[in-house]
Each structure stands twice: as C-alpha cells, then as structure tokens.
Structure 1
Amino acid sequence: MWRQSHKPTKLFHRAQRCRPRALALLALFLVASTLLLCGIKGKPSSQYDPPKLKRSRTRTSTQFRPTVEYTNGTDLIWQIPESPKAVLFIAHGCNGRAANFWDRSPGCPYCVGFPEERLIVLHALDRRFAVLSISSSRKCWSLGKEKHVVKWITTWWIERNKLEKLPIMALGASSGGYFVSALAAEMRYKSIVLMIAEGVFDTMGIPEGYPPTLFVHMPKDQRRMRLIERNMEALRRKGVRVKEVRCLEFPLSPNFLSDRILGLNQTMAVKLIRMFSEKGFLDENGYMRKDGRATRWKQALRERGFPLEKYELLNHIQEELNLAYGYHEMTSLQTDDIFDWFESYMN
C-alpha cells in the first residue's frame, strides 16, 4: 500500500488548489488516448477505428471468489460464475504465476492482483466464462512435459466441476502465448488468443483442425509484428481463421493509474504524473519517452523521499507504465475484442 504522512504536505495543498485545471488536463489526456489505443485488422492500418477508453472498463459487477489448489506439482486458481457458458484457461508470461490474476483475499492470501491480469479475469467472469489459471513450474513455460501436465489438470478440473459440455478457450501472453499455441495442437480449444506472442508454428507445424487464432500485439515491437504477420499467413494457408488486434501507445493520466490500480488513490496518482513530467519521463503530450522497465522512476521516487520498501504497488505501477508505452505487456484494454472473438466460436 502507498502510505502518506499524517500531516498534509505543501505538494498536497498545491494539488488540491490546482484540481480544476488538473481535471481539465485529464479530460484532454483521455480524449487523446481514445484515438491511439488499438484496432482490429480487417481494413488498412491507416483506417483503424480504435475503441474508446472508458472508465467503466475498469469496473465490473463480478467479485473475486477464487479457489486455490495444488496438484500435479503446481498451483491452480480458479473461479466458476453462475451458469457458466464457456471455460477459459489463462497462461501467464515469464516471471508470472496464477496468483497474478486474482486479488488478495481470505481464500487467496498470497494473490497479488496485477491490474491487467485481474481485469481480464473480471471481464471473463462477467461474460460467464469459468476461469482456470495455472502456474508454470519454472520462470517461463516449457513445451515438453509441462504441456501434458496442463492438459491433464485442465481435463481433470473440467470433469470434476461437470463442465464437459462447455466450449473451451485459451489465452496466453508472451511465454504463455507460445505455450498456448503449442498446447492448442493437442487440446480441443474452440479458439485461442495469443497476446504479445507470435506462437511456435515454425517449429511444430500446423495440424489439421487447429483452432481460430486471434493475435493481440503491439506493433512498436516491429520484429514480433513481422513474425506474427508471417504466422498469420501460414495459418490462413492451412485454412485456420485468424485476426489481429494492434495495441498502440497512449498518454498517461492520473485517472488511468488510480482507476486501474487498487490501493492507489487519486492524490498519489497526481503526484506520480507530476513527478514523471518534471523528470522528463513523459513528453509534452503525456506519452512515456521510454519503456517503463527502462525508466528510472523508482529511483526518482527514492530521491523524493518515498520509502519504497513499504510500497506493495510498485510492480502494479510498472505494468501500467509498460502498457502505456505500448511495447510488450499484458493488456486488458482489448477485452471486448478478445471475448467477442471467443464468443463468435462458441458452437
């Protein structure tokens, strides 16, 4: 949690006096962001119609009530909504784990609820998808024995919860995207989503009956974009239905941070954005000059006297900075596109 001193600082009073002006600037930031987020390929890139970034996207009607288990050498966390209509397996990226997708709760005391991961799960539950997340055995997913482990766990879990009649989907990000692309050759997925990953089609081949595949990626990563384009063409030649969603950079605003990061209040979000601007981490339009991982913002916080060891939200903030830069990060901004894709292949 972010901790503040009991005595308001001069910066706090200044932020309060400037609030009307700050809100006006926030409105401009949000309008600009609607023009630059993402689009589904189906027309030339110059004609993409990006969806608007709405604050309502960060709020859902569903609450987390996960079940945590340990089986077959790994942990799994899952939740089944009332009257589920589909099953969704989610694979994290390198250095991730199942606990990243769920908020801390009595049922999951070690869950961390990263902003983008948790929002993907919340939107899935709102769409009545039963969600299963499994942790990889090592830092990243492997493509050997681990495929059989996850296949066994998924089948066992579905049968135990009497979900056999439901369609099964899968979403994987980065390392998880490679893993899902390989697992889809053996599992009966109705469709899959590969996020910031081109898949491993060059090494495994594309079997008959491979599921429809949606690529969600960030074209600022040009090398990966070229590989995705090549793999999309290879899938098409095999008769596989494919589509892509391109996710672009967007300007940061206090509202964006405080809306998406639980425990980060508006006052602290304003301070963060102001510090990023003063340090030159943002350009004049509010865009990140560098990837969040390459920005020394934590050192800047330390220089301002913030006791970093007391903060539990540093990795949450880091994720949103990476996302705003638009290079290689989990994203929930495209959940409407993702779940529309899944639902179009339910039968």
Structure 2
Amino acid sequence: MRPANILWPAALLFLWQLAVWPGLASDLSLPSPESWALLPPAQYEEIGGHEVVSTVPAREPKGVIFILHGCLQLVTEWGFQSEHCPDCHGMPEEMVTVWKLWRRGYAAVAVGPLNGGGGFHCYATGTDEEEFDVPEVPEMVRTLRQILTDNRWWHLPRYAMGTSRGGAMALIIALHFPLQGVGSMVMGLKPVELLEGSLAPVDAQTGATWAFPPVLLMQAQADQPEVIGVIDRTIPVFTRQGIHVRKLIMQPYPITPAFFAERIRGVSLEVSVRLHARWRSVGLLDEHGSSNASNARALAGAREALFEELEPLGIPDLEEFEDAQGERGLHRVFIELLWAAEAVHEITSQHVDTLLDFFEDTTRHEPRHWLRSRWAEAWAGRGGSHDSASTSDVQDYAAESAAAPDSPQAERSRDAECVRQGPFAEYLKAELDPGAGVKRPSTAELMRGQNERQRVYNALLSVPCQLEQFLLFGLLICLDSFLAVFTVLPVRFARAALAVVRSAVGRAPGRRPRAGGLAADQLFDVLCVLIFGATFGVLRLLPAGAIYFWLKDLTQEFLKLHVVHSAVEIFDKIACAFVVDSLEALSGSCTMFVTGHGSRWAAGRLAMDAAVTLALVIAHGMVLLGQVMTFSVAMNSARGHALVALLIASNFVEIKGTIFKRFDAGKLFTLTCQDVAERFHLALALLFVVVEEMDNAGSGRPNGALLQRCGAIFAAEVAIDVTKHAVVTKFSDVRPGVYRTFLRDVCEKTRGSQSHTAHRVVAFEP
C-alpha cells in the first residue's frame, strides 16, 4: 500500500484528535463561568403570605416549575442578589438547578412556606406533631393560582419539584391543584393517613377532578432509613391506584478538581483545583474524589482550609452567604455540595435534566382546545370571581371524569341502558349516525387513541433521532480511543523510554532501580507497544493474496459465504473478550511488579501474562484480517450485489433475537453500547476495503461503485438498529427520553476520562 494514499487522512485525523475532540466531550449540562451572566435576574415578591422567587426566560416559557424547598433551606437561596431580589443569596446546587431549568426554557418559581420569611421553616404537611387540617395547603393553592393568573401562564404545562419536606408538600399539592408532573427528591408522600385513602385529586371550590400526575421519586442511596421507608411505602400505593410512578436512586458522584468552579459563580478553576487538593490532604476527599463529609475530624480540617483559601479572595457570591448568615452560611455552601456528592439527604442538581425528561415524556396529551381553557377559566376567574358558565363547564368535566369507562357510574349506566328496550328504528338511526344529538365530544372520546398515537410517533420519529445522537457521540468516543493507539500511545512509549534513559544515567552506583525506573502505567505502555509491534510483524508474514483467493473460491455460493461470515463474527467476539481480560490482567501484573507486591513470582507472572496476551492479540488480529477479507471478497465479486444483499440480510438476525425480549433501562443501555461498537467496527472494515481497492488500483480516488455498496451496507446497518430499538422501546414501554439520559451520562463520564480510558464508557475496546 502506498503511504501517500493514507498520509493525508491520517494527518487530518491526528489534527482532529488533538484540536477538536476535547471540546466535544465537555459537559453541556453545567454552567460555564461566562454563562452565569446570561441568567435573568431573580424576581422577589410576597403573595398570600408566601415568599416567591422567580427566574423567567426572556421568551415565553416552555412550562412552569414550582419549587418547594426543604426545612433547612430558604426561598431566597434560589436566586442571585440583585435589585429585584436584594436578600437573595443563591446556593450552588439551587442555582445550578435554576440554571438548568432556564437553559431548557422553563420558568423556575420557588415558593416558600406560609409566613416563613426570614428564617428556616418547614411546610405544614401534617407530619410529626402537626395536624393535617392546616391552612398551608389551601393558601399554597391560592398562591400558585395567583402566580399563574398574574403571569398569564394558565396555558402552559405546570410541574412541581420538591426536596425533603417540600417533596411531600408537592405530592400533597397535586391532590388539590392540577399539575402535569411531580418530582419529589429524598421524600415520599406523608403523612401515612394519605396513603390509606384514595388519591383522587379534586378542587374544593369547583368540584373539578383530574388524574393524579406522573411522579418521579428520587431516593438518595445513602439516605436515612426512615426516608427510604417512606418512599418504598409510597410506590406500591401509587401503583395500585394506577398512578404513573418511577423511582430514581441517586448515586454518589466524585468531586473533580473543577467541581467548585462549575457550581459557584466567581470561583476560578485555579482556586477550585487548590481547594480540591487541600481537602484531599485533610482526608475529606479520597483518591477518587469521593466525599467523606461524615468524618468529623476531616470536616474540621476542611473548614479551616476553606476559609484560608477563600476568605482573602473576596468572591461576591460567597460574601452574600456571610452577610446573610455569617460563617455558618459560607460553611453551609460546601457542606451542601459534599453531602449531595455523598448521596445523603440533600438537594442535588445532578438529576435535574433527568427530571425534566421525565416531565416531557409523561406529559398527558390533553385536549387543549376545550379542557385546558376550561381549567384556566375556572381557576383564574373572570373579573375576580367564577362566572356560572365556567363553573358549570368544570363541573361537566368532573361528571364526565366520574363516568369514565371503568368507573362504577359507567357500569350502572351501561346496565340501565341494556335494560331499556327501544324501537328498532331508533336503534338503527343511532347506529347509522352515532354523533346525532351530541353537543360536544366527551373526554373519553377526545382522549381516545392518544396513547397509541404517542407510541407510534415515538417509534417513528423520537427514537431514531435520539438514538442516532447517542450513536454518533459513541462513534466519536471510539474514534478518539482508536486514534489514541496510533498517536498518544507512541508518545507515552517515548516518554517511558526517556524515563529509562534518565534513570540509567542518574542512578547511584550500586543501586538498581525496579523495572528500569518505570511506573506501572509506563511499563504497561511499553509492553502494549511491543505486543502491537510483534502482532503487526506476524500479520505481515501472512500470505494475504493466497488467503484472499482461497476465500474467493470458498465463498462462491451464498450459503458458504453466510457460514464464513457468521463464523468469523463469532470468533471475533470470543477473541475480543479474551483479549480485554488478558490486557486487564497484564495491567495488574505490571502494578504488582513495580510496587514489589509478591516480588518472588511477580516477574514470572508478568512474563506469562505478556506471552498469553501476545498470543491472543495475534489470534484476534488474524480473525479481523479474515473478516475484512471476507468483506473484500463480497464487494469485489462479479456477483457483488447479490453477495452484499446476503450480508445485509444476515444482519436481520439481530432484530429476531431482540425485539420480542423485554428490556429495562440497564439492558437497553448495554444493547445500545453494543450497537456503537458494532457500527464502528463495520465502518473500519468498510474503510479497509475501500483503501485496499485504492492501493490495488494505484489510484488516489476511491471506486464509485464500491462506495455505493459500502454505503448500502452501512445504511442497512443504520436501518436495522433504528428498527430494532423502535420495536424494543415499544414492546418494553420505554420512553425515548431514556436515550437523552444515556447521552448525558456518557458525556459526564467522558468528560472525566482520558483517551486510553474513555472507550470503557461505551464498552468498546480499541
């Protein structure tokens, strides 16, 4: 193969690897220092005895999110200090939450407890020693109604999210105020008396009823047992009453050196890195960045480090906390961040996008032209009071809801109708003209087929778009890791060789350094380069031409080609699994050899692992060579179109093996990652065929007919993946928003990874 044919694409790919890729893996779900300036100023007001802090997009919001905070939070912590909110002092997790809501186009409206201004207060939900019949709920409903009326937001979707006691209050409000979704963080429905009755929402003033909205319960992994018990008691009650409920277990997440700069406005990356290092030195963070805030001694040392690092800087936002609550306020800022990262009973902004995806995916398809307008008229009022027309409309809707197809009233009505015997002419007239005498369609008729329509459009439109976004990002991760083998790994090998030379030159007389002065990762890099070099040398000795013509003679018949292709594909998966395990074992042996653990057998174990890895890599290389040559034979055959069609048809075995299985989110993520690896593997195989044909023809341009065949195969792979996932999500009742969650999780993990570890995020091995 002529080097000139591949020199220019290799150079472009190398430049792309060094210059473009780092920006693609950035976490778009966290605010940058510049983006804080784009956030609109918070608006403070008092409505009906409740403090309200609102952050509203410049354009009409996509929806309204009512925020109900916990007992140890203030409503003024949900906005930055400004002329419109002079007492605001936004806390980090709260403000990142507000920023994410604003970025997604939602109005964030934090509503405090009744008469709770100026201090920490809990919502009166009837828990502990309180009585449930308190004015908190009706006053809160009146306040929410006033907010929607003043801002003319009745036509927008309305959701509520709460933390701790605020989460319980959000679930209670859904019984008295029409919402399209509720998110409760670290709390279920309290008090217990509510779980013992029927969760049938009703308006006390008008008698209007509606279905209880979908609920996402977010449980911290290390939360208090009593809180976990409340959540676990809530879920079966909701399920039995037909309420759509999901549970999200919030896992601990590491604190990176850039953690504080990403969450606190005014903290630079340099200060964040320095503070991260200090906290690791006092034991508050372990080597992986995990929080250890429950360690009192480490917490005391971290407090001193906090003030030593931050007090001289004069950061305005941090001064707001000190002005509002003194040193306790500044200390609360970082305690909140640490507890949230530790997944204890604390608010976190980590899962806000997941909550919004849940809201958007489960929003009911309401008949907006009638139902929503009646709600707006009845709740907002005309001229300060409900007119008789709007009240009667809502009551009609309540009656229609009561007469749902499965309700007792509907059963009695059908029984009575069956008893009544009418003339045959009236029966025939009713059959021929079902809509005669109907003034307006019922709610059941308006809602008929909406769920089926949603499933169809999810499968045809939403799933393909969101799936391809994830697969495209996964392909970029695979490409980055693949290029790192040819760009970054040689550089690391050169640095390791330089370290050996420096160690040999600067070694004291009579002293022999272990492993030639190499660290464990450097020794592993050296062995990898030697193994890959030896594999390359062995593969060059193989008679490629003889193998090609042998495969060409063997695969003249369709059945033989199918058998060879399937066999090579199976051997590829088996060899890849063994190679991955052997490389992991070799990495562990390098660590043991360098650190001196088990030094008696460390050298022999290292040599044995290196030999086994070399043999497996050579075997896998031969399998891959046979696979790409099978592709080349099929593409360049005189009966190429038929052979390509056979290769495409063989891929439909994937659909047969997956569509009738039920997948949860975890299994679906594994399946999607497998599709990423398969698609990248196919792209490399097709690229090999094209470049080989260019080399054999002595041309610098690819063959047009060959490109068409490659495009047909790749397009078929895309169509198969889309069809497979569309049917799987439909049969498993999985919402398309799960792919957005997958993409966001992969972005967050990739952001903290390097090129030699990023591929593990999508279970790919270069």
- SS of 1:296 mapped into structure 2: helix
Residues 126-149 of structure 1: CA distance to partner in whole angstroms, max 9, x if unpaired?
222222211223411112212222
1:254 counterpart residue number: 257
Deviation (angstroms), 1:298: 5.2
Between stretches 247-256 and 71-80, larger displacement belongs to 71-80
* Residue identity matched to 2:27: R
Deviation (angstroms), 1:99: 1.4
Q: Is the 8 A contact 1:261 1:317 kept in 2?
A: no
Residues 112-139 of structure 1: CA distance to partner in whole angstroms, max 9, x if unpaired?
1111111222222222222221122341
Deviation (angstroms), 1:330: 0.9
**2:250 pairs with 1:274:** no
Residues 242-263 of structure 1: CA distance to partner in whole angstroms, max 9, x if unpaired?
1112111122222011111112
Between stretches 181-190 and 273-282, larger displacement belongs to 273-282
Higher RCO structure, 1 or 2 (CA under 8 Å, sep 6+): 1
Q: Is the 8 A contact 2:45 2:51 kept in 1?
A: yes
1:65 counterpart residue number: 41
Structure 1 229/67 Cα, relative in aligned 2: closer, same or farther at 3 Å? Answer: same
1:76 counterpart residue number: 52
Aligned mate of 1:94, from 71, 87, 105: 71
Deviation (angstroms), 1:184: 1.4
2:108 counterpart residue number: 131
CA distance in 1, matches of 2:159, 2:124: 20
Residues 273-315 of structure 1: CA distance to partner in whole angstroms, max 9, x if unpaired?
2222221222232212234888224543379587599753433
Aligned mate of 1:232, from 235, 240, 254: 235
- SS of 1:55 mapped into structure 2: coil
Deviation (angstroms), 1:222: 5.6
TM-score by length of 2: 0.36
Structure 1 279/80 Cα, relative in aligned 2: closer, same or farther at 3 Å? Answer: closer
* Residue identity matched to 2:357: D
* Residue identity matched to 2:243: V
Residues 141-184 of structure 1: CA distance to partner in whole angstroms, max 9, x if unpaired?
11221222211111011112211122211000011111112111
**2:272 pairs with 1:300:** no
1:321 counterpart residue number: 338
Q: Which has the larger radius of gyration?
A: 2
Q: Is the 8 A contact 1:102 1:112 kept in 2?
A: yes
**2:288 pairs with 1:288:** no
Between stretches 306-315 and 99-108, larger displacement belongs to 306-315
2:27 counterpart residue number: 55
Number of aligned residue pairs: give it. 295
1:200 counterpart residue number: 190
- SS of 2:286 mapped into structure 1: coil
Q: Is the 8 A contact 2:221 2:252 kept in 1?
A: no
CA distance in 1, matches of 2:308, 2:104: 43
* Residue identity matched to 1:154: L
Q: Is the 8 A contact 2:65 2:161 kept in 1?
A: yes
CA distance in 2, matches of 1:192, 1:57: 21
Deviation (angstroms), 1:102: 1.2
**2:185 pairs with 1:185:** no
Q: Which has the higher helix share?
A: 2
Give the % identical residues: 24
1:34 counterpart residue number: none
Residues 204-254 of structure 1: CA distance to partner in whole angstroms, max 9, x if unpaired?
234133221101121212613343122111110110001112111122222
Q: Is the 8 A contact 1:292 1:325 kept in 2?
A: no
2:80 counterpart residue number: 103
Q: CA RMSD in A?
A: 2.6
1:333 counterpart residue number: 350
Deviation (angstroms), 1:79: 3.3
* Residue identity matched to 2:276: I
TM-score by length of 1: 0.77
